[in-house]
Amino acid sequence: MSSDVRFTDFKSDKQPTWCPGCGDFGTMNGMMKALAETGNDPDNTFVVAGIGCSGKIGTFMHSYAIHGVHGRALPVGTGVKLANPDLEVMVAGGDGDGYSIGAGHFIHAVRRNVDMSYVVMDNRIYGLTKGQASPTSREDFETSTTPEGPKQPPVNPLALALSAGATFIAQSFSTDARRHAEIVQKAIEHDGFGFVNVFSPCVTFNDVDTYDYFRDAIVDLADEDHDSNDYDAAKEKILDADKEYQGVIYQDEDSVPYSELHGIEGNMSEIPDGAPEDAMDLVREFY
Amino acid sequence: MMQDLNWAIGGEAGDGIDSTGKIFAQALSRAGRHVFTSKDFASRIRGGYTAYKIRSSTDQVESVVDRLDILVALTQRTIDENLDELHEDSVIIYDGERTEMEDVDIPGEMIGLSVPLRRLAEDAGGAIMQNTVALGAACEVAQFPIENLDSALDKKFGAKGEAIVENNKEAARLGEEYVQEEYDHDFAYDIETTDNDYVLLNGDEAIGMGALAAGCRFYSGYPITPATNVMEYLMGRIQHFGGTVVQAEDELSAINMALGAARAGARSMTATSGPGIDLMTETFGLVAQSETPLVIVDVMRSGPSTGMPTKQEQGDLNMTLYGGHGEIPRFVVAPTTVSECFQKTIEAFNFAEKYQTPVFLLADLAMAVTEQTFSPEEFDMDAVEVDRGKIVDENDIEAWTDEQGRFQPHFPTADGISPRAFPGTTGGAHMSTGLEHNSLGRRTEDTETRVEQVDKRNRKVETAEEKEDLSPREFGDSDSDTLVISWGSNEGPMREALGFLEDDDVSVRFLSVPYIFPRPDLTEDVEAADEVIVVECNETGQFANVIEHDTLTRVERINKYNGIRFKADELADEIKAKLGEEVTA
Ligand SMILES: Cc1ncc(C[n+]2csc(CCOP(=O)(O)OP(=O)(O)O)c2C)c(N)n1
Ligand code: SF4
């Protein structure tokens, strides 16, 4: 890791193909800044992306990366990180990817508390498939598949995470560049699963949860007297359906990541040329 | 005196049938006798008939037969279920003092030994040892030195403390003495022991051991019969070698974790059975498309859907061969014996890394749960070779970069195999994706690049066909006009069937095929025979269809799909019938 890494080193030479104005630009820039700030470089970074407009991020960034199948980015990230703890693993995806098709994995990744960060670009719509309701869409949000609105309450991802035992829960707004990067950086630095839900507006299909909406609605926890180590205070904020908070909402400072609890240390890519020296003991067990 | 002894214990699930059977199998193995076990179990934990059967001989045994010599019956149902296999010299050990066994119905010619299993166990220290009492009684019937049982009891209960071991030894003695004193009968059995050292293990364990020998460091799985034992074996052992087992939340997660670990450079594996393979199929395509080395074990059971989870079938061949949308280069390797489960697992890791493809290791329930004895040399760790394929490090990465200095992980080489850089390698940063991509790994819909990459990936299969020895294993009479072909665990019963056939002057050439894809070209073998019979545990003849397709020749089929594996004598009879039919037709 070299200290002179700049965030642009994480940019690939491929120009993003997102719609002009898409929130994902800002989300990605913040991620790259945070990676550079935390002393990482492209050769020790592994970005795992889901499927969706959000999932394209791996293409526009320069690092080791995989762009997998819809909804399964978290298990992939888990495998990467456990197999090589020296890598900085960052998983990215959309609200559909993470809270719908991948919702099961989300809960379990939170519980597992592997030391990686998870950035969800929450635009409250399915972008790539052109505008259907997502699990975070509002109850009355009219879309091509919900002409009268989904008529079911949106998922509260932060509450899901909290109830699953999250050790780090944060929320940010993609266009508030400095705060967003700072929050992602905290997620990277956290010893365990650092979850950040990012408001990342879709300018093409979502005319409700817009930049203007978020700008007005957001309450920055830095401006409030919020103690992120206080579980009850965090719970109160998370269950407050009337406000959109930004900042680190909850962090368990005593978090012990999965690999430490399970005694996983080395880089698993290094193996002997033949069977391990004491392999014959494995046979003797069957006498 | 009979050297081939068929012994079984049966009762309700939860009666400790499995561990009791295993103790006896171990005792026989330690006495230098070969052992072959089979399990009859229902898919429930308590209640339901369960049996553990052991066939043991001084020669290697490869199959079960339709005969039972000594039966420990903990329930009346055990006797009813096995009536067909009992014969006039059969001995049935049961507890006539237990109310539910009082009026047990022993068919006329057989010998029923009522032994107060529970009472003697209580005398030895606890009713829980009733099965051990029965083992002692069985030793007396078979004239099998009970000291061999002692060492198996040491192994089983050693960790639980001296007192438990001693009580069990005492319980066995009481069972032995009771038969000695109460029954003045010369039983038909007096089995030999030898000085040979054998190991006793099942296919799941052999797969797990092969994985560790091959340097597997990451395993993720979700429990499913009959593959769970692979995970249970690795758990507790893989850590010693610096690896880990993760119990995932489902099979989707399991295969994706394994994929992630493989991309990070670990030798990585997941194991499941049919329903789990279904769930893994989407990611299976990603594994192939991103050219990630991964071993996926399918321990087949009876399907479709949840089918018969505890019963034998070889119904997933089509799925492993053709499963997944689009066209996917892959390996499908099907071990044919328990010891091959070990060897083929090692080979599977080498295939995966040499060719950067997913490898299906296709095992079946009959082999996975069967414990069999082998000489330890069959698991020769010195012979293990690890071939990691075309790994590039920071020194040779430049040879694989484009004009802009970008690493090309999908460079279209002549043999189809591209360079691979583990994450962390300086200058190797790249993206992998399930989308069609160019040599850099970047998405493309360019028609020429698409064709180039599809061809490149498929070239790996051609390379493997050229470079690897995919020949089948051959047995029997190589000049015979009758050719029998099988795959998977049918090899064992078929090899024994050859002996039965020989006794009746029927000569047969037998090919056991472990490579399903890529596979050997059997056209010449098929054309050289008058009669070709493909033996498999499924209804539609999935492998027979493949052979017909490859060789453009109709073949005969012997299919079994009632949930029970082939037995050697039964198979010999079916082959004779097939040949007879042809003669009269
Ligand atoms: C198994 C599967 N089902 C459906 C799809 C189609 N699909 C692609 S992206 C997507 C939704 C993405 O929504 P979201 O995660 O919110 O990301 P966004 O595009 O809004 O960034 C769907 C349904 C797919 N690729 N795979
Ligand atoms: S459709 Fe929406 S989410 Fe997708 S790139 Fe365009 S603005 Fe962004």
Look at B260 and A286 and tell me if their CB atoms are within 8 Å.
no
Please report the ipTM that was assigned to this predicted complex.
0.97
Summarize the confidence of residues B563-585 as an average pLDDT: 83
pLDDT tens by residue, B428-481: 999 999 999 999 999 999 999 999 999 999 999 999 999 999 999 999 999 999
| Total beta-carbon pairs less than 8 A apart between chain A and chain B | 212
User: What are the residues whose beta carbons fall under 8 Å from the beta carbon of B11, sequence distance 6 or more?
Assistant: B17, B49, B50, B51, B73, B74, B75, B78
Please give the share of chain B, as a percent, with pLDDT higher than 70.
Answer: 98
Q: How does pLDDT run across B171-199, given as a tens digit for each residue? A: 999 999 999 999 988 889 999 999 999 99
Identify the pLDDT of residue B584. 36
Burial (Cβ within 10 Å: 0-12, 13-18, ≥19) of residue A265: exposed
Tell me: pLDDT of B44 over 70: no
| Number of the ligand closest to the Cα of A50 | 1
User: Judging by beta carbons within 10 Å of its beta carbon (0-12, 13-18, 19+), is residue A181 exposed, middle or buried?
Assistant: buried
- Residues B384-399 as b/e (b if ≥16 CB within 10 A, e otherwise) read bebebbbebeeeebee
> Which residue shows structure tokens 């978090």?
A255
Residue B42 pLDDT > 80, yes or no? Answer: no
Q: What is the pTM of this model?
A: 0.96
Region of poorest pLDDT, from A11-15, A25-29, B265-269, B298-302: A11-15
For chain B, the average pLDDT equals: 95
For chain A, the average pLDDT equals 96
Report which listed range, B95-99, B506-510, B580-584, is most confident.
B506-510
Which positions 169-228 of B are in contact with A (Cβ < 8 Å)? 197-201, 205, 209, 212-215, 217-218, 220
pLDDT > 90: what percent of chain A? 97
Report the pLDDT value the prediction gives residue A3, as an integer from 0 to 100.
Answer: 59
Give the tens place of pLDDT for each residue, A155-182.
999 999 999 999 999 999 999 999 999 9
Tens of pLDDT, residue by residue over B245-261, are 999 999 999 999 999 99
User: What's the pLDDT score for residue B63?
Assistant: 87
Instruction: Give A125-192 as a DSSP string.
Output: SBTTTTSB--TTS-TT---SS-TT---SPPP-HHHHHHHTT-SEEEEEETTSHHHHHHHHHHHHHSSS
Residue B22 has pLDDT above 90, yes or no: yes
CA distance A41 to chain B (A): 10
Res. B159 pLDDT band, cuts 50 70 90: very high
Q: Whose CA is nearest to atom 2 of ligand 2?
A: A202
Proportion of chain B above pLDDT 90, given as a percent: 91
Confidence of residue B393 (pLDDT cuts 50, 70, 90): very high
Residue A55 alpha carbon, nearest atom of ligand 1: 21
A221 falls in which pLDDT band (50, 70, 90)?
very high
- Collect all residues of chain A within an 8 Å Cβ-Cβ radius of residue B212: 276, 279, 282
Q: Which residues of A touch B406 (CB under 8 A)?
A: 13
Whether pLDDT at B46 is above 70: no
Structure token digits, residue B73: 């019956």
